[in-house]
Structure 1
Amino acid sequence: MTTFPLTTFPLVEITVSYSQSVKKSERPIITNSQQAYEYLRRYWNDDVIDLYEEFKVLLLNSANRVLGVYEASRGGLTGTVADPRLILGVAIKTCATAMIVAHNHPSGGHTPSRADEQITEKLKQAGALFDIRVTDHLIISADDYYSFADEGRV
């Protein structure tokens, strides 16, 4: 067996930190899809919501208080790629116990695609391994939304 000195292979250093800048009591509580839509809608730019697709994650603590919003991806006219590994990494790092995922359809339509259903299921399964619930998946447009939870699909 050949051994290599550590100096031969520079290693990537990973730093993990946690910092709270907002008191828990000041964080909004999200208890339904309408509240989630209204909160998340502020994170979409009105000028481009109908131009390209974005995928965002609303991270929640065990009391459904908002920990933050993670902008997972920005794509093109008809799609974007949301990487479950990155999303779960952020959820774990923020100590989230639940998340609501959301993306827009630039067409303005709200019907979930097969890809929308697949990412929802993939995130649910991955989150379950860490006791992080996916409580909803919203498809957002400029003036309305579709909720997987409201339709019994989460």
Structure 2
Amino acid sequence: MKLPEIKVSYSNRNNIKVEATNCQIIYNLIMNHWNLDIIEYQEEVKIILLNRANIVLGIFEMSKGGISGTVVDVRIILGVALKCNASSIIMVHNHPSGKLTPSDNDKTITKRLKQACGLLDISLLDHLIITKEGYYSFTNEGIL
């Protein structure tokens, strides 16, 4: 009986280095990777993966949903982080409503993700809620 082979890979072919030193840098970076035509119509979640020196390894598109929500699967996020050998992550999602206030669900998933990251020695550096006009940082607000 032959079992399936599992392959894990990561490649940085373009050698671009971005150091994530503050929320404004992350906001500017992520806005360049967001479809601004639908930011006010469809909720999305993206994960920024970083190495030990807070250099961005890449951005993972976690999910796209509807007007009022999308799926955030902690196991998938951590699986991707492990495959990329990430030391830390930043979760980013938009609010199509344009309001930057975190919902109870936003707070709950942030807490769950932080706990799960802790088990694997991966740091959850921040969770940003974004709109075209700005961002809300869980870290800056003292929630994370």
CA distance in 2, matches of 1:59, 1:44: 16
Output one character per residue of 1:68-125: Cα deviation in whole Å (capped at 9) or x when no partner. Answer: 0000000000000110010000000001101110100000000101110111111111
1:38 to 14, 28, 31: 28
What are the residue-to-residue correspondences of 1:45-60 with 2, within 5 Å? Answer: 45-60=35-50
Alignment gaps of 5+ in structure 2: none
Alignment gaps of 5+ in structure 1: 1-5
Match of 1:77 in 2: 67
Matched, 1:143 2:133: yes
What are the residue-to-residue correspondences of 1:114-125 with 2, within 5 Å? Answer: 114-125=104-115
Corresponding residue pairs, total: 144
**How much has 1:145 moved relative to structure 2?**
0.6
Contact 2:50–2:56 (8 Å) recurs in 1: yes
Identity %: 51
Match of 1:98 in 2: 88
- The AA in structure 1 aligned to 2:93 is H
Contact 2:9–2:84 (8 Å) recurs in 1: no
Any runs of at least 4 consecutive aligned residues in structure 1 with deviations exceeding 3 A, and if so which? none
